[in-house]
Amino acid sequence: MPQGQFTIQEQVERQLQKLTPQQLLTARLVELSVVELEDRVKTEGYDNVALEEGHDGEDDRNDDVDVANEDIQQNDREDGQDDYAYSEDDIPVYTPSTGRNYEETMPIGDTKSFIEDLKRQIYDFNITPKQQELIEYLIGTLDDRGFIDRPLASIADDLLFHFNIDADLAEVEEAMKILQQFEPAGIGARNLQECLIIQLDRKLENCSDEVRKARLLLERDIIQNHFDVLQHQHIEQLVKLTQASPEQVAKAIEGIRKLNPRPGLALSESADERAQTIEPDFIIETTPDGLISVELNNGEVPELRVSRSYEHQLQQYQKHADKMTRAQQDAFEYTRKKVEGAKLFIEAIKQRQHTLYSTMKAIVKLQKDFILTQDESLLRPMRLVDVAELTGQDISTVSRVRKGKYALIDGQLYALDFFFLRTRTNADGETLEHKIIKERIREIIDQEDKSKPIPDQKIVELLLAENHNISRRTVAKYRSEMGILSTSERRRV
């Protein structure tokens, strides 16, 4: 055998968990909003002749689904408590037995068109069908900054477990790199540093002026190699590290400030401030004595059942299975698939309703004080895992329920994402919601003596006295995100 040519056979044992068709269908339905579900049910009705609308009576209860939560609420009434790891005594909740249609008009981000625009850009690249699937999934994971804030390995696992898409880490990373070539520049980055580098690389590609190119290269060097120093605004240290003049460093920082730290802003804020109509997925009402009503909105989704005529046909074929002709066997197989498909779809709808309802009740339990008052200061830090533990569901399931869903609380509309806020941990391991900390920083600065601005370290000490244990670097970061000048800059103003 020639040198350098050899073959290695290696046996690797991997344990893969594949979802059943029922689980896959349920997972897909859980992701849908009530409006999307209406369309999905209509499509399924067109495609499957064994799926019918209507309800024949009590005898049909096992085959029917009442999407007004009849099955869910029946269990609550019979057991005296629900199945979501907490009792009714913990939080007063009653559930109406009938559903209603709601529409609420409010200005929201033009999210749909922004995502559609990203998906349209896929066709500008020569990619494989699998890469297209991966990129579309990554687009769906973008946070409100336009970042991919989950580890790529976790995304690869989710693709395999929930969608049977076997993609290794290198394939997911390659898909991410393609997404990072989309407009606006910086979309698909994993953090702010990568986002800014992507934008500078794009500028460098189109730069022919040597003077401007030199400045862009300095900006990139600062972000790539001295990002921590930049965030602390240590100008003199940057001068030493880059061996550039103070004037050059100052111009570079000015250029960096003009970059876009949130390329996905259109995901959360409207580009043209148009008012769109939203139909909430949940309706929540409170009473003065502290009762909270949780209702799953049915929209125009009808009750569903398996066609009695098709079930009867199936039974007749089965009675004469040994005497069927080839044509009858084909007809039997067609009927069997349609009946089983209808049952599968009905059961998936039931499970979807149960999953959404139990998830919303868990959110209500965790955010009870806010629900009763709508006072944002009472909004407690809440993670996906907190709801998952309360409901007994997977974190990925809770994430699917959260995305694209809305709750109408005493006439005020909230995206479910609103309840899941970024958190950090203090010295005692207690989670603290960064929005509250930001607001506290703003309050401290607003109340300061303008002739003697409060330095970031003093703000750290004031927050520590309130049991908010964060670093000076974090204070500077939050202050910068809110557009508040540094101490020296505020003094000059």
Domain boundary among 382, 400, 421: 421
Q: Encode the chain (493 residues) as per-residue pLDDT tens digits.
A: 444 444 445 454 444 455 688 888 888 899 888 888 988 888 888 888 888 887 655 444 344 444 333 333 333 433 333 333 333 333 333 222 344 444 443 333 344 567 877 888 887 788 888 999 999 999 988 988 899 988 998 888 888 877 778 889 999 999 999 999 998 899 999 999 999 999 999 888 877 788 889 999 999 999 999 998 888 778 888 999 999 998 899 889 888 988 888 888 766 544 344 334 678 999 999 998 889 999 999 888 888 888 888 888 888 888 887 888 888 888 888 888 888 998 999 999 999 999 999 999 999 999 999 999 888 778 887 888 889 999 999 888 898 898 888 999 988 888 888 887 544 444 444 444 567 788 889 999 999 888 889 999 999 888 887 767 777 888 888 888 888 988 888 886 6
CA 412 from chain centre, in angstroms, equals: 21
Residue 256: helix, strand or coil by DSSP?
helix
Classify residue 485: in a domain, yes or no.
yes
Q: Burial, 100: exposed, middle or buried (Cβ in 10 Å; 0-12, 13-18, 19+)? A: exposed
Q: Which run of H or E residues covers position 275?
A: strand 275-278
255, 216 in Cβ contact below 8 A? yes
| Residue whose tokens read 């920083």 | 441
Domain boundary among 269, 301, 318: 269
Classify residue 467: in a domain, yes or no.
yes
CATH of the domain at 430: 1.10.10.60
Domain boundary among 225, 249, 269: 269
Same domain, 154 and 251: yes
Classify residue 408: in a domain, yes or no.
yes
Same domain, 100 and 74: yes
| Sign (positive or negative) of CA dihedral 41, 38, 110, 361 | negative
| Sign (positive or negative) of CA dihedral 111, 116, 121, 125 | positive
Same domain, 367 and 306: yes
Classify residue 102: in a domain, yes or no.
yes
7 HSE (CA, 13 A, CB side): 2
Could you tell me which residues come within 8 angstroms of residue 13 by beta carbon, excluding any fewer than 6 positions away? none
Nearest Cα neighbor of 456 from 480, 437, 476, 439 is: 476
Enclosing domain of residue 479: 423-492
Q: How many residues does the chain have?
A: 493
Same domain, 114 and 79: no
Classify residue 130: in a domain, yes or no.
yes
Same domain, 259 and 329: no
Same domain, 470 and 364: no
What is the domain count for the chain? 3
Q: Tell me how far apart the alpha carbons of residues 86 and 83 are, in angstroms, rounded to a whole number.
A: 7
C-alpha pair distances (Å), 450 with each of 115, 478, 485, 489, 491? 44, 20, 12, 11, 7
Classify residue 1: in a domain, yes or no.
no
Classify residue 65: in a domain, yes or no.
yes
| Full-model pTM | 0.47
Classify residue 61: in a domain, yes or no.
yes
